[in-house]
Amino acid sequence: MAFESIKERKMRSALTALGIIIGIAAIIALVSIGTGTNAAVNKALGTLGANTIFVAGGGGGGGFGPPSSTSTLGNKDLNAIRNIRGVDLALGMVATSESVTYKQQNARLTFFGIETSDAEKFFKNLGVVQMGEGRFFKSGEKHVVVLGYTESQKAFKDPIKIGDKLNVGTEKFTVIGILKETGSQTYDNVVLSPLSDVASDPNNPQYTIIFARVALIDRINDVASAIQKKMDDLHGKKTFNVFTPQQLSDQIATVTNTLSYTLGGVAGIALLVAGIGIANTMLMSVMERTKEIGIMKAIGATNRNVLEIFLMEAVLVGMFGGLIGDALGIGFSQVLGLILTNYGLTFSTEVTPGLLAVGLGFSVGVGALFGLLPARKAARMNPIEALRYE
């Protein structure tokens, strides 16, 4: 009976469900930013190895960003970390963005400078990076680059090959290696170069980040604590932060989840409006069908029967809206991901079955919640008065 009632009032039911559809689609698309970014971060951290520790700027409050003072990470810090018990390998990396010209085509690429003596050892130990063509740097080599697969194929209209020259400022860099495709942006979009080519002062480089590899993974937290204590002693408390992959993942997840759920909460206002629309529609339906309710009760329908019929009608409207909203949310999420990628943002989107289930559950819940009052009103009607209603 509830389904037949919806069919009889197709336009009204569709307009009522529209608010649910918009709200659920918006929530799924926006929350998928946080879900996708968390998945991408965890995948990237996984490729860096579970036994890798990161040392970076603390932002003055334990978060990410530039250090709170004028302190910078330098060779003194790198050597101190190398001397900590349990550290198997430590290397500093300098990141900088440079304008590059190749065959009269321009692009802006991010260069990562590392010591030539440590580059091959560090990346080969990861187990996920393999040289597709060419080789890594040799000790003391300058003005050379190793490109990730994507950068070699898509940074410019023409693919880059081994031996090609890239103009960076007034210098020419020779491409000596191209990595195999890994499927991870961490490596496929990388441009590796000797530290001496990237650092403004090669003799006293200011590292963007320092990586420390521990020999025994079960001691990673102890080693990280020792490194943090050393950094605090050298620069002051929390000037630089030390993270294990799990800690880094948790902190980034906190930021992205806060962002996505805040955006999802804003979109949830549409669900509130949709709920009010359901209540309004159901109250009108009760008024229009007052005589029908009287007839149902006169031939034996109980208050519970009437309540179930009208409540089911509201739930069905919510469910249909949720199903369509889920479908549109998947589409909006994919479009949003393409837009973010085209603008060069690192956010990604991912719609999980759990997120779709939550969206559908919310829509059904909204239908039930806002349909309850009209359903109770219908159930409590006096059958004699209902039959006399004009």
Task: Give the pLDDT confidence score for residue 385 in this predicted structure.
Answer: 83
The answer as to whether 347 is a domain residue is yes
Task: Give the pLDDT confidence score for residue 30 in this predicted structure.
Answer: 80
Whether residue 317 is found in the same domain as residue 178: no
Query: What is the per-residue pLDDT across 321-372, written as a single tens digit (0 to 9) for each?
Result: 999 999 999 998 888 878 776 765 556 788 888 889 988 998 899 889 888 8
User: Which of 200, 235, 270 is where one domain is finished?
Assistant: 235
Q: Which stretches of the chain score pLDDT less than 50? A: 59-69
Q: Is the dihedral of CA 261, 263, 267, 272 positive or negative?
A: positive
Whether residue 138 is found in the same domain as residue 224: yes
The answer as to whether 64 is a domain residue is no
The answer as to whether 282 is a domain residue is yes
Whether residue 124 is found in the same domain as residue 178: yes
User: Which of 188, 205, 235 is where one domain is finished?
Assistant: 235
The answer as to whether 48 is a domain residue is no
Contact predicate 305/296, CB 8 Å: yes
- The Cβ of residue 238 has, within 10 Å, a number of other Cβ atoms equal to 18
Whether residue 15 is found in the same domain as residue 102: no
Query: What is the per-residue pLDDT across 50-77, written as a single tens digit (0 to 9) for each?
Result: 778 888 875 444 444 444 445 788 889 9
DSSP at 137? P
- Locate the DSSP E strands across 9-114: 52-57, 87-102, 105-114
Looking at the 3D structure of the chain, how many domains does it have?
2
Whether residue 36 is found in the same domain as residue 173: no
Contact predicate 316/363, CB 8 Å: no
- The Cβ of residue 175 has, within 10 Å, a number of other Cβ atoms equal to 21
How far CA 133 is from CA of 66, 168, 178, in Å, comes to: 36, 22, 5
The answer as to whether 116 is a domain residue is yes
How many alpha carbons lie under 13 Å from residue 390 in its C-beta half-sphere? 0
pTM of the model: 0.60
| 159 contacts: CB under 8 Å, gap ≥ 6 | 152, 153
Cα(189)–Cα(237) distance, integer angstroms: 34
The answer as to whether 245 is a domain residue is no
User: Which of 191, 212, 235 is where one domain is finished?
Assistant: 235
Whether residue 305 is found in the same domain as residue 212: no
Whether residue 93 is found in the same domain as residue 130: yes
Whether residue 223 is found in the same domain as residue 84: yes
Whether residue 82 is found in the same domain as residue 219: yes
Task: Give the pLDDT confidence score for residue 70 in this predicted structure.
Answer: 56
Whether residue 113 is found in the same domain as residue 171: yes
Whether residue 24 is found in the same domain as residue 86: no
DSSP at 358? H
Cα(317)–Cα(13) distance, integer angstroms: 7
The answer as to whether 59 is a domain residue is no
Task: Give the pLDDT confidence score for residue 45 in this predicted structure.
Answer: 65
Whether residue 201 is found in the same domain as residue 88: yes
Domain boundaries, position 223:
72-235
Cα(84)–Cα(251) distance, integer angstroms: 25
Task: Give the pLDDT confidence score for residue 66 in this predicted structure.
Answer: 44
Best CA proximity match to 113, nearest among 100, 94, 136:
94
The answer as to whether 215 is a domain residue is yes
